């Protein structure tokens, strides 16, 4: 089959690789019909190379058609249309029973002290082949895949793999009161969708911050009050307070993560580590890694006293310095973590069947063949061509 593979820093290629096969009785093989490129895929493209090997298959936002099932699979059958959550979770362990599929005890990557394995996402999370490919082996066929109706295009359902549950969890963790206020830092796919969900769920004011004009226009068209980071810079917190009676918003979602704009010292460090041999780079990242924290620090600054900071952007630093004095003084609540995809599906799926209140049908800015994947990664990383969300079609 053809698959998008990692070959080195800023180097991904479509190659011919062996087809996946059923290995366990509850495996299924899915023929991929759509697969998204996620903002966190860019961390693999740029920063997390020491945890990848040439040939690793990328992608954790797939959906498609069941082509083959193991002998113990009863929940789906050949021809069913399914979305594949990005967490590889068993659905039966203690953590899955708590709705914490991202911490699944069956697939935790204990070698690195990590939570549940993820499709297409480095040795830190199991080095499981991903879904930017023609076919995908999916374990736990009775509990993991999400069966969806025939009829609507893939765009209606594919975001159940990651974007929708990640954004939904970000809003849930933000705990915005009815009619309350929220700032979303970063209007890429997750931040954009989080803003839409917050408005749908009754937030009175949603402020969106970014520096890419296309993203700002896109959010503004959905009723978000947008602030251009290029205009406000270090005065961003004051601008948010000016819009909220001097207090700051009830909650802030950091949808940016480790590669935030600014933080030039940390950026230089990430770049330098990426040039080291993998064993040395891994040691430094695990013991001395520092993220670019400008988004998280801005969130702490602009949230009101007693408010909540919800972090959905990916961080990986081992020694990130946090302003704990300020966080304690402001009585900030902080919630974060990988989305527990399966936990949120029952709440989200009814919004996708009839009407389209979240605008998922038009959410993708680009639909491209898998062969164009390498160019799509480059374009997305450079924030060019108005690219916010791309779906690849094998």
Domain boundaries, the chain: 2-161+340-393, 164-336
Q: Above 90 in pLDDT, residue 318?
A: no
* Residue-level pLDDT at 277: 53
According to DSSP, the β-strands at 146-147 and 81-83 are antiparallel
Rounded to a whole number, what is the distance in angstroms from the first to the last CA of the chain? 10
Q: Above 60 in pLDDT, residue 7?
A: yes
Instruction: Please name the residue that has the structure tokens 């374009």.
Output: 379
pLDDT band at 267 (very low <50, low <70, confident <90, very high): very low
Q: Above 70 in pLDDT, residue 274?
A: no
Taking CA 375 as the corner, what is the angle to CA 33 and CA 358, rounded to the nearest 5 degrees?
A: 50
Q: 2-161+340-393 sits in which CATH class?
A: alpha beta
Query: What average pLDDT does range 311-330 have in this prediction?
Result: 82
Q: Give me 203's structure tokens.
A: 């937030």
* Residue-level pLDDT at 270: 46
- CATH topology agreement for domains 2-161+340-393 and 164-336: no
Q: Rounded CA gap, 341 and 164, in Å?
A: 9
Q: Rounded CA gap, 159 and 360, in Å?
A: 8
Q: Rounded CA gap, 50 and 48, in Å?
A: 6
* Residue-level pLDDT at 266: 43
Q: Rounded CA gap, 183 and 251, in Å?
A: 6
CB 201 within 8 A of CB 343: no
Query: What average pLDDT does range 179-202 have in this prediction?
Result: 97
Q: 164-336 sits in which CATH class?
A: alpha beta
* Residue-level pLDDT at 381: 92
* Residue-level pLDDT at 269: 44
Q: Rounded CA gap, 7 and 122, in Å?
A: 13
What digits encode the pLDDT tens for the residues 203-251? 999 999 999 999 999 999 999 999 999 999 889 999 999 999 999 999 9
What digits encode the pLDDT tens for the residues 183-194? 999 999 999 999
Q: Rounded CA gap, 237 and 243, in Å?
A: 10
In terms of average pLDDT, the best of 132-141, 275-284, 327-336 is: 132-141
What digits encode the pLDDT tens for the residues 29-64? 999 999 999 988 988 887 677 789 999 999 999 999
Q: For the whole prediction, is pTM greater than 0.85?
A: yes
Taking CA 23 as the corner, what is the angle to CA 84 and CA 8, rounded to the nearest 5 degrees?
A: 65
H-type helices in the chain, by residue range? 41-46, 94-97, 163-174, 189-200, 213-220, 229-232, 236-242, 264-274, 278-288, 294-302, 324-329, 341-348, 350-353, 373-382
Query: What average pLDDT does range 157-162 have in this prediction?
Result: 98
Strand partners, 251: 182, 308
* Residue-level pLDDT at 313: 87
């Amino acid at each position: 089959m053809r698959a998008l593979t990692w070959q080195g820093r800023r180097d991904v290629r479509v190659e011919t690789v062996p087809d996946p096969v059923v290995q366990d009785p509850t495996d299924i093989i899915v023929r991929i019909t759509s697969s998204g490129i996620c903002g966190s895929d860019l961390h693999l493209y740029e920063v997390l190379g020491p945890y990848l090997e040439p040939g690793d298959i990328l992608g954790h936002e797939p959906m498609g058609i069941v082509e083959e099932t193991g002998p113990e699979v009863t929940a789906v059958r050949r021809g069913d249309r399914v979305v594949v959550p990005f967490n590889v979770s068993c659905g039966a362990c203690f953590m899955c029973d708590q709705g914490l599929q991202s911490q699944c005890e069956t697939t935790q990557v204990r070698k690195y002290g990590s939570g549940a394995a993820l499709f297409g996402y480095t040795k830190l999370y199991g080095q499981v082949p991903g879904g930017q490919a023609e076919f995908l082996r999916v374990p736990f066929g009775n509990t993991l895949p999400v069966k969806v109706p025939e009829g609507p295009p893939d765009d209606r359902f594919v975001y159940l793999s990651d974007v929708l549950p990640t954004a939904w969890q970000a809003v849930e963790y933000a705990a915005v009161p009815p009619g309350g206020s929220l700032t979303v830092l970063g209007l890429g796919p997750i931040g954009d969708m989080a803003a839409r969900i917050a408005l749908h769920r009754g937030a009175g004011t949603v402020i969106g911050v970014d520096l890419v004009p296309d993203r700002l226009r896109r959010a503004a068209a959905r009723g978000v009050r947008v602030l251009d980071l290029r205009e406000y810079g270090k005065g961003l917190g004051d601008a948010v307070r000016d819009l909220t009676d001097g207090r700051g918003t009830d909650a802030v979602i950091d949808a940016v993560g480790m590669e935030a704009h600014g933080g030039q010292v940390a950026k230089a460090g990430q770049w330098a580590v990426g040039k080291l041999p993998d064993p040395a780079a891994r040691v430094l990242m695990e013991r001395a890694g520092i993220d670019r924290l400008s988004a998280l620090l801005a969130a702490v600054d602009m949230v009101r006293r007693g408010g909540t900071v919800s972090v959905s952007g990916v961080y990986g630093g081992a020694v990130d310095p946090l302003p704990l004095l300020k966080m304690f003084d402001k009585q900030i609540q902080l919630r974060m973590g990988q989305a527990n995809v399966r936990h949120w599906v029952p709440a989200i799926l009814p919004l996708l069947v009839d009407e389209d209140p979240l605008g998922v049908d038009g959410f993708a800015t680009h639909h491209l063949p898998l062969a164009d994947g390498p160019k799509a990664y480059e374009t997305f990383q450079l924030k060019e061509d108005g690219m916010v969300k791309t779906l690849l079609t094998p």
